[in-house]
Amino acid sequence: MTANVTPAAASVTYQWKAADTEDGAYTDITGATGKTHKLAADKEGKFIKVEVEGSGDYSGSKLSAATPAVAASA
């Protein structure tokens, strides 16, 4: 999975999150702090969001909409 921000030059940090249901409580996926995240088998079937936190000229945070997880990557 890949998070894309606008503008692409924005300086941001990423935190991927998972929940059992779309409206459930999302918890951080340990170590999932990059622009891309390869789903592990234990996250298969979970709902996934990514939160980005901007810095410098691009301050603030944004939480994505929920996406049902696809099959884990091999």
43 within some domain? yes
17 within some domain? yes
CB atoms within 10 A of CB 18: 22
Q: How many helices (H) and strands (E) does the chain have?
A: 0, 5
Q: How many domains are there within the chain? A: 1
44 within some domain? yes
23 within some domain? yes
Q: pLDDT tens across 12-60, in order?
A: 999 999 999 999 999 999 999 999 999 888 898 899 999 999 988 888 8
Indicate the pTM of the whole model. Answer: 0.86
**Domain with 56 in it:** 12-68
